[in-house]
Structure 1
């Protein structure tokens, strides 16, 4: 709303493309975000979108700078967890842990607080503190039977930490619970369970392609053999003297 109409439309189109592409083609999404940033760098939504596009392409230093700019413009703390995760991406898990203890965390909504807990647990694992990571994830949100948008990811992270600690039976149980809550396939809990149970998946399409290639090879071999045989017969006919 702060931009002239034509410029606002141009910026909006680029932001729409960022949103559409960020999951399937993050590099292209990043390119659109840079265009929007050149057009309207003083708009908080543009800085936030540029931050997420940079984050998706693992440009963590750039993402952190954009998130900080957006936070300054809006005064909102909702980007705090992803900012902490950028610190992890930059190899600074201790800074992420420090951010987990800042007053901003108390201002987050429930989803934001769960996200911050996930980031803090990841930072603990980065520092080799596996038991502490497990304890960090233990919470009322984890124990609750209610299913929220973040439930599957929280349960999955807990299962993954348990498995890393060698607690396979508990990990299997929590991967199962993650799968129960994962209605939109946001985790690969089913694959992890199958892997733990020794189930190996085979791509049916690959099998069909192999069979087709084998059949083609057999047909070509047969055709070559028939051609060779026919050629031998012709040669023999040429060598045989004609009858008067």
Structure 2
């Protein structure tokens, strides 16, 4: 798989770098670069991270850090059986119990919550540091919920770490899990209180506690970007609409049209029932009347002329 040019392999942890020193330098550099890509992609692109982990595993399967990285990549892709096998291999190589909680969670993923609870009560848990013990408590509570033992899950999470006011790396996740368990048990008021406490501790947004709290409060978020796009679209529609004379009104607001129409200096009143043909006929009648009057005047003048000529003869 391609490695970006900005990846040098020096970005990995010093402890991992020391483990890779058992390999030839060129091989160690290649493995290191693939491990960097696993760490870079595991949250946003789990499938891509898994691909790089398989390359690293093919190059150096006897390095514990490589087996651990492969386990986390498989875990991120919900390949729990494969992840559990890699974690077990890494634990055999190092003898460390640090992976015990995530191994127990793999058992949950495989549909074996009872096995996870057994691991939660094993002696290895006492060898974990505080963060590991809190993680193990979270896994045990999850196993209880898998078994529909909601009250037991709530009790499992109740601990000095939960009651503490100090904020640790695990505090937000612990409070969130407790709030979620309370909500599942129908204790909405307490759940809201603990979601609010989770928000206070969640400085890096590792949970969606703020969204859950808003949902409980009936707050609906509007995507500002979508709203702006809708406004722009409306403006475009108005811009493309045909332009009127600037004085036009909506159809329902237009006043009835005046049915009085001027013809020259005379005014012809048109009834609503009149058709255009009726109006034309009326105009023709008026015009014919005017023509007849003109002809009568001419005839009168001719008659007067004839009388005058007869008088001259006499």
TM-score, structure 2 as length reference:
0.70
Q: Give the Cα–Cα distance (whole angstroms) in 2 for the partners of residues 221 and 25 of structure 1.
A: 45
- Structure 1, residues 105-158: CA drift from partner, whole Å, max 9, x if none? 111001000000000000100110000000000011111111110011101100
Distance 1:167 1:112 in 2: 28
Counterparts of 2:57 and 2:239, CA distance in 1: 59
Change (3 A) 1:129 1:3: same
Return the offset for 1:210.
1.6
Q: Give 5+ residue unaligned stretches, structure 2.
A: 1-20, 246-314
Structure 2 CA distance, aligned partners of 1:113 and 1:11?
A: 31
Deviates most, 174-183 or 61-70: 174-183
Deviations along 1:183-232, one digit per CA (max 9) or x if unpaired, are 11111111111111100001010111122222223333438x99xxxxxx
Bigger radius of gyration among the two: 2
The answer as to 2:127 corresponding to 1:87 is no
Q: Mapping of 1:132-151 within 5 angstroms? A: 132-151=152-171
**Map 1:155-170 → 2, pairs under 5 A:** 155-170=175-190
User: Are 1:12 and 2:12 counterparts?
Assistant: no
* Distance (Å, rounded) in 2 between the aligned partners of 1:95 and 1:89: 11
Q: Which has the higher helix share?
A: 1
Aligned residues: 225
Deviation of 1:33 after TM superposition, in Å, equals 0.4
Q: Quick one: distance in 2 between partners of 1:92 and 1:43? A: 29
RMSD value, Cα:
1.4
Match of 1:217 among 220, 237, 243: 237
The residue correspondences of 1:36-51 to structure 2 (distance < 5 A) are 36-51=56-71
Which one of 37, 53, 64 corresponds to residue 73 of structure 2?
53
- Take 1:19 and 1:102, find their aligned partners in 2: how far apart are those partners? 30
The 1-side partners of 2:242 and 2:96 are apart by 73
Taking CA–CA contacts closer than 8 Å with sequence separation of 6 or more, which of the two structures ends up with the larger relative contact order? 1
Give the corresponding residue for 2:291.
Answer: none
| Unpaired segments ≥5 residues, structure 1 | 227-244
Distance 1:213 1:25 in 2: 34
What secondary structure sits across from 2:173 in the alignment? helix
- Is it true that 1:174 corresponds to 2:181 in the alignment? no
User: Any idea what SS the aligned residue of 1:145 has?
Assistant: coil
> Which residue of 66, 87, 96 maps to 1:76?
96
Q: For the residues of structure 1 that align with 2:242 and 2:131, how far apart are their CA atoms?
A: 65
State the secondary structure of the residue aligned to 2:43: coil
- Secondary structure at the aligned position of 2:93 is classed as helix
What's the counterpart of residue 117 of structure 1?
137
TM-score, normalised relative to structure 1: 0.89
